[in-house]
Structure 1
């Protein structure tokens, strides 16, 4: 199997990159962005298969139509890539909004999914939940963090005016004070060279993920699930949104990383690596 390449599906060039050895972990999102977040050490214990979805892929179409990126099609793409790469018995991992894709995929295609990892996502992306996260920031963030956010966010409109096609990346960069325990971190290098198809991203985050509720979904799901959260993740916090899984969800392990925001694999790699690897191999 080639360690990197492109799989063409319906005119989308879905790229993949394989790093590491061990249990296969299929990471949904951008094959450029996500390899930058995980440490070299964890890739000695796990084989990461980073794959694009249509929101981050090159397309031969000049104008994307809604039928090109329905949620079901994106889930089917993941399965086609798994089949093409001849990967069986995977751990499916989704971070942030991609947690919804990971869980939906595991529900639709359970045969080759051993475990599910949901990192740094709220249970839903509904407008009500987004308002809860903003209130969490307003009520608990430090004055310095708030000042940093106001300064950075004031630059967003100019960024988007210059590169409207990269609106999602610019927003993520300027939301650093909501995203990191150390709110002085510059996220721009993470997003360098990452393509974004904004109609698809707008649909996923604005419509598809807003209709889903992962706590409701987990109530009828029996595979092992790891929910990883950052205490200072103001993008999708507070972590108490996940409190319902603490009782009656025996297959769900919830871990809160106390010195992380939206990226515990980047901010607390030693703790994150040991915790996730132990859970994947030992269930503990």
Structure 2
């Protein structure tokens, strides 16, 4: 099953794509980017519903700050849920979008059954970013460091040519931080992915730096799947989550040993088996 559509909200055309069959999983982020990361096999077991948020949509009018507050973005997700008639579903957020998935589940818990948080640090604070840089500097191989130095030297020119795509360019040039295979070129993955930079700058630069998911999970009772990559230098190390051990019984943490920032792409069979088992375990 595949179904595409648009939900227009106050001058923003938020796109969605429904792929596969089975239990519904709402994937928050970019309807263009995220379908590339999940396997065809997973779609045989789960109904993946990919939705845009305003960070990936070109507005038909001038942006206002109130268009993309955290509460407004969460309201947009709720409006998409209503339009798609979703009930009793799993919500999934990857990287920065994990913050949105968890905050949505906290604000609108009625229909959320479970929450999947993939490849995110507990916070995007400056202190945490420095910890991730130290993790890379202390543990990355010489080959990985060399690849990163060559790629990152090209970033300034990329941004000068296409400042409106600087988020995508940064993600591409940070490939040695992102993938277990540090030679992987992510350029094709960003083709056609619109980046609304005022929204992305605000969410990633301000909102996610103030949130802390470990604190948010303290009084959160729904089941949570926390998927992390051992070689995820963007938001690692995975030890940033160590304080939840033995304290949050509702959180299932899985570290993928041969993955960076995208285990669903890098170890699809293992990722699929873990996720499907966890989603279905209380349906039996």
| CA deviations over 1:248-284 (Å, ceiling 9, x no partner) | 1010000000000000000000000000000000159
Conservation of the 8 A alpha-carbon contact between 2:2 and 2:19: no
Conservation of the 8 A alpha-carbon contact between 2:74 and 2:104: yes
- Residue 111 of structure 2 is matched in structure 1 by 112
- Residue 45 of structure 1 is matched in structure 2 by 45
What secondary structure is seen at the aligned counterpart in 1 of 2:110?
Answer: helix
Aligned-partner Cα distance in 2 for 1:66–1:138 = 37
- Residue 17 of structure 2 is matched in structure 1 by 17
| CA deviations over 1:151-208 (Å, ceiling 9, x no partner) | 0000111111111100000000000000000000011111110001000000000000
Q: CA deviation at 1:102?
A: 0.2
- Residue 57 of structure 1 is matched in structure 2 by 57
Aligned-partner Cα distance in 2 for 1:43–1:206 = 33
Q: CA deviation at 1:58?
A: 2.3
Across the two proteins, how many residue pairs are aligned to each other? 283
1:96 matches 2:100: no
What secondary structure is seen at the aligned counterpart in 2 of 1:111?
Answer: coil
| CA deviations over 1:37-89 (Å, ceiling 9, x no partner) | 0000001000000000000012111x312111001000000000010011111
| CA deviations over 1:113-146 (Å, ceiling 9, x no partner) | 0000000000000000000000000000001100
What secondary structure is seen at the aligned counterpart in 2 of 1:229?
Answer: strand
Q: CA deviation at 1:2?
A: 7.9
- Residue 178 of structure 2 is matched in structure 1 by 179
What secondary structure is seen at the aligned counterpart in 2 of 1:59?
Answer: coil
- Residue 223 of structure 1 is matched in structure 2 by 222
Residues 146, 221 of structure 1: alpha-carbon distance in 2 compared, 3 angstrom cutoff: same
1:1-284 equivalences under 5 Å are 3-61=3-61, 63-282=62-281
Residues 38, 2 of structure 1: alpha-carbon distance in 2 compared, 3 angstrom cutoff: closer
Aligned-partner Cα distance in 1 for 2:138–2:150 = 19
What secondary structure is seen at the aligned counterpart in 2 of 1:205?
Answer: helix
- Superposition TM-score, scaled by structure 2 size: 0.98
Listed as ranges, the gaps of 5+ residues in structure 2 are: none
Aligned-partner Cα distance in 2 for 1:146–1:47 = 39
- Superposition TM-score, scaled by structure 1 size: 0.98
Aligned-partner Cα distance in 2 for 1:269–1:7 = 30
Residues 249, 65 of structure 1: alpha-carbon distance in 2 compared, 3 angstrom cutoff: same
Q: Runs of 4+ in structure 1 displaced over 6 angstroms?
A: none
Listed as ranges, the gaps of 5+ residues in structure 1 are: none
Aligned-partner Cα distance in 2 for 1:89–1:275 = 20
Conservation of the 8 A alpha-carbon contact between 2:231 and 2:260: yes
Aligned-partner Cα distance in 2 for 1:105–1:2 = 25
Conservation of the 8 A alpha-carbon contact between 1:14 and 1:58: no
Conservation of the 8 A alpha-carbon contact between 1:94 and 1:101: yes
